[in-house]
Amino acid sequence: MSEHNVLLIGGGGREHAIAWKLQQSDYLGKLFIAPGNPGTAQIGTNSDLHISDFEKVADFSIENKIDLVVVGPENPLVDGMADYLKDHNIPVFGPQKDAARLEGSKDFAKSFMEKYDIPTAAYKSFSSDNTEEALSYIDSRGVFPVVLKADGLAAGKGVFICDSREEAEIRLDQYRSDENLRKASGTIVVEEFMEGEEASVFVISDGFTAKVIHNAQDHKRVGDGDTGLNTGGMGAYCPAPVMNKDVSEQVEKEIIGPTITGMQMEESPYKGILYVGLMITSTGPKVVEYNCRFGDPECQVILPSLKNDLLDLMLSAEEQRLDQKEIQLDEKFRCCVVMASGGYPESYEKGKAIHGLDSVDEELLVFQAGTIQSDDALLSSGGRVLNVVGSGDTLREAIDHTYQNVEKIHFENAYYRTDIGAKGLKYYPKG
């Protein structure tokens, strides 16, 4: 196979991890990242390309003889970047707009699951202008907690778990009053709260063949013990022990297979990465949500565990020959701790100098997310700043390896959870 020039879209920790993995490919020619971050600049060539301008992305791809565009974040996919590039004969790894509705619209995803008998929580959708109807439905159920979800993309902050009618009323009002949520909340999904343990399964699909890459467990809440506000993700570990052989087989048979077949039936074959967020309930696994890309920070633990050539897998999916591939994983556990700016996911300060990256273990991985280079200084520039990824032969070793190195890294008002991976330890009495 000849070398392929790749343009990677995105600039967060997920994209740093993808760039790191792509750089290891025997088939990689030149690697461009737009916009990238100081971490990806050490791997490929960053570009200040405006990724929301699809015409400029296409022009850049043609000028730089790009053989594959890899789209990291969800927004360009939901907005139709894959469609636009394909219309200009530019190969792209990522689902087209109609398929990306699985993430772009919670209401579509729920109705899709209902149509194809894919297990998920009971729900009903309402216009954000009809909060009284939503409250009447909540009253008629009379069961708390209840889950509220913004229909559209809300950067991981559009879901609220409400323990009372009063809280539900406040959150329903927040969807209308909060400038950051209003656009995503024209429709609101009211959903049954599912008891159980969460897990994330990541699938690569060429539209017809789907292969499970790996599974992980994310930690969405900002505080230890899964307390506080939802965030984009405060850490993850893999593999998730709740995804044992029986559960994994059930997920493939009852969820992944019907999802891929259902999208074919909808005349929107799903090509790319499919993230299936699960709740493992007492009656079996059920879908919490779909995402149309790698999770962040789950990607940061999954890709180091993948022994396959990532670019080869992506090209196989784009060229619809994934049936010829078998996924291979190492046997390591991995843990990712997100070092965030104090105050995240609400207001926080930027521009804090980051120290200690030169003192971490050689085996450790640090993927940059919200960072910026200023002369010789690396500064914080976002809510989630760094992803610190340790590994080990046991989950306990992976957790310890990660936190031992987190303590070596410093920036003013740095915040991180101290219990990432802890709930997985109950499955491993000896670590």
27 pLDDT more than 90: yes
For position 5, what pLDDT does the model report? Answer: 98
Q: What is the CATH number assigned to the segment(s) 333-427?
A: 3.90.600.10
Phi, psi (degrees; rounded to nearest 5) at 152: -95, -170
Q: Tell me how many degrees the CA angle 402-74-318 measures, rounded to the nearest 5.
A: 95
Region 169-176 average pLDDT: 94
Which pLDDT band, with edges at 50, 70 and 90, does 430 fall under?
low
Confidence at 112, pLDDT banded by 50, 70, 90: very high
pLDDT in tens, 386-421: 999 999 999 999 999 999 999 999 999 999 999 999
Lowest average pLDDT, out of 105-114, 157-166, 203-212, 268-277, goes to 157-166
User: Average of pLDDT values for 135-155?
Assistant: 94
The residues, ordered by sequence, that sit 6+ positions from 236 with a Cβ below 8 Å of its Cβ are 200, 216, 217, 218, 219, 295, 297, 298, 300, 301, 335, 336, 420
pLDDT tens figures, 64-98? 999 999 999 999 999 999 999 999 999 999 999 99
What is the tens place of the pLDDT at every residue in 351-362? 999 999 999 999
C-alpha span between 41 and 96 (Å, rounded): 28
Q: What is the pLDDT of residue 128?
A: 87
Residue 35 sits at φ, ψ, to 5 deg, of: -85, -15
Mean pLDDT of the chain: 96
Q: From 390, 354, 391, select the one nearest 369 (Cα to Cα).
A: 354
- The predicted structure's pLDDT at residue 431: 63
131: CB partners within 8 A, 6+ apart: 169, 172, 173, 176
CATH class of 122-192: alpha beta
Query: Quick one: average pLDDT of 23-35?
Result: 98
The pLDDT of residue 121 is 97
pLDDT in tens, 321-352: 999 999 999 999 999 999 999 999 999 999 99
CATH architecture for segment(s) 4-94: 3-Layer(aba) Sandwich (3.40)
Average pLDDT for residues 308-327, to the nearest whole number? 97
Give the start-to-end residue ranges of the domains of the chain: 4-94, 122-192, 195-324, 333-427
How confident is residue 118, by pLDDT bands cut at 50, 70 and 90? very high
* Residue 183 CB coordination number (10 Å): 11
pTM of this prediction?
Answer: 0.95
Contact in structure between 184 and 153 (CB atoms under 8 Å):
yes
- Average the pLDDT over 20-39 and give the result: 98
**Is the bond into 345 cis (omega within 30 degrees of 0)?**
yes
Structure tokens that stand for 134 in this block: 């939503």
Q: What pLDDT sits at residue 155?
A: 77
**In the CATH scheme, what is the code of domain 195-324?**
3.30.470.20
- pLDDT above 90 for 272: yes
